[in-house]
Amino acid sequence: MKEIILPNGLKVIFRPMPNTHSVTVGLYIKAGQVFGDEPAFGATHLLEHLHFRHCGRYSQKELYYKMEKIGSSLRGSTYLDLLEFYMKISPVYLSECLDIFRNIILSDEWTEDEFEKEKAVVKNQIYEESDYLDANDSLRQLIFRNHPAEREIMGTAEDVERMTLEDIKNYKKQIFDTSRMILCITGNVTETLLSASLAEIGKIPLPDCGFDKEFTAPPRFGKRKPDVKFLNDVSWDMLDVRMGFDVPVGKYESDMVEILASILGDGVGSRLQLVVREEKGYTSDIYSWVGWGGKVAVLYISFTVAKANLLSCCEEIGKVLEDMKREITKEDLDISLPFFTENMMFYEDDSQEMNKLLAHSLMTHQKNVTPCKATNSTYTMTKLQDIAGDVFRKENLSLIIAGRTGKMTHKSVIGAIFKEK
């Protein structure tokens, strides 16, 4: 990986991948509700949308024509702490692609009519998503109660309605700052060709205000009772269950936490899959993963289960968690480590996956991507047991159960997971 600083101060991360047949260009901006800069909740998401309504010198119709003429589509995503745009193209179209990104950076000439039309699109999205229960959103709200991350990324329809065009233009000027942004380019292109293609982007005047805010942990992080919420919906025959365990802030390497989640419930040979699904037959889709935001990490477990089997299922999950505190085995690492060592080379075959991996690591963990250092050793086993003991505690648990919960109690569910010793 190489770093190029353009004349205007914009940092470019470049990873040549001569074995591939593509190039991915990604623009990543540290922005979102967790930093407290939005003029109203949902401003970052609305700003993302506006670049597809009108992008610099391109009208919407011209932008779509330009994208498809080079055989690609511009994509955008808004996270709690990140705004991203990216395109995957054939190397022969690099200059045309970078011209689109130049226009993304420059774009702020939306008309009131364009602004109102895009507000209507976003409000329709909000209305559509509010028509059904979402256990994932409910769990996020529980985990981040009394914290900016509690709110929906899109905001509410009222939030969107009260935003003005001037609000959005000023917000864009604030966040398109070289201390918040990186341009990441990965794929089959030489540094010489890239430097020439970047010349016009390097001429754009950009501020550098020294942005240093972080995605901080919510007040109850690691200090829960635990937090439990039932979403009673009599139309659901099955219960949709989401668990979230707070991971102590900044205490452990991200790779080690990811390996722990992999051993727990990621893959057919993981402990939860073997016990809860295969042996007991309580569910067909239990799995685990880690969600990151700044230095905040949450280890999630997700599954569906019949109400009659919920407590028994939770008991088995509790036993698995306790077992992991006592012992991580060589066999656990045998089936997990390849995904974090040899299989990481798969990213070398895909410029888009490599682009997002590099950028998200820099923006979320403030570090370059390096090979996982874990080995199948006593040290790694002991370290993972220590993390399991620190993470799988009542004080870290948030729990959502959606469906026909009836007269079930919070106490009975928590008691099933954490049996008294």
- Between 297 and 236, the more confident residue is 297
Same domain as 17, residue 144: yes
Here the CATH number for the domain that contains residue 164 is: 3.30.830.10
Last residue of a domain, one of 168, 202, 236: 202
Q: What is the CA radius of gyration of the chain?
A: 23
Return the pLDDT at 373: 82
Query: Does 368 fall in a domain?
Result: yes
Residue-number span of the structural domain to which 73 is assigned: 2-202
Count CB neighbours of 162 within 10 A. 12
User: In this structure, are 191 and 329 located in the same domain?
Assistant: no
Q: Are 398 and 226 in contact (CB under 8 A)?
A: yes
Judge if 24 and 66 occupy the same domain: yes
Tell me the C-alpha distance between 373 and 380, whole Å: 10
Asked if residue 382 belongs to a domain, the reply is yes
Residues 181 and 262 in one domain: no
Consecutive H or E run containing 102: helix 94-106
Residue 219 lies in a domain: no
Do 235 and 198 share a structural domain? no
Residue 83's φ and ψ, nearest 5 degrees, are -120, 130
243 and 169 part of one domain: no
Position 83 confidence tier, pLDDT thresholds 50, 70, 90: very high
Closest CA relative to residue 13, chosen from 361, 286, 319: 361
User: How do 397-403 and 238-247 pair as beta strands?
Assistant: antiparallel
Q: Are residues 27 and 176 in the same domain?
A: yes
324 & 406 share domain: yes
- Classified as helix, coil or strand, 247 is strand
Say what the pLDDT of residue 272 is.
97
Q: Does a structural domain hold residue 209?
A: no
Task: Say how far apart CA 53 and CA 151 lie, in whole Å.
Answer: 25
CA distance 289 to 175: 30
Q: Are 235 and 402 in contact (CB under 8 A)?
A: no
284 part of a folded domain: yes
Query: Residue 293: pLDDT band by 50, 70, 90 thresholds?
Result: confident
Assess whether pLDDT exceeds 60 at residue 421.
no
Last residue of a domain, one of 202, 218, 238: 202
Both 306 and 407 in one domain: the answer is yes
* Residue 207 counted as domain residue: no
Name every residue whose Cβ is closer than 8 Å to that of residue 406 and which is 6 or more positions away in sequence. 232, 307
**Considering its fold, how many domains does the chain have in total?**
2
Q: Is residue 247 one of the residues assigned to a domain? A: yes
Residues 194 and 231 both lie in one domain: no
Chain centroid to Cα 223, Å, comes to: 24
| Same domain membership, residue 311 and residue 188 | no
Polymer length in residues for the chain: 421
Under the banding of pLDDT at 50, 70 and 90, the label for residue 234 is low
Report if residue 383 sits inside a domain. yes
Is the CB of residue 83 less than 8 Å from the CB of residue 47?
yes
> Do 156 and 252 lie in a common domain?
no
Looking at 167, 202, 237, which one is the last position of a domain?
Answer: 202
Q: What is the pLDDT of residues 116-142, one digit of tens each?
A: 999 999 999 999 987 666 889 999 999
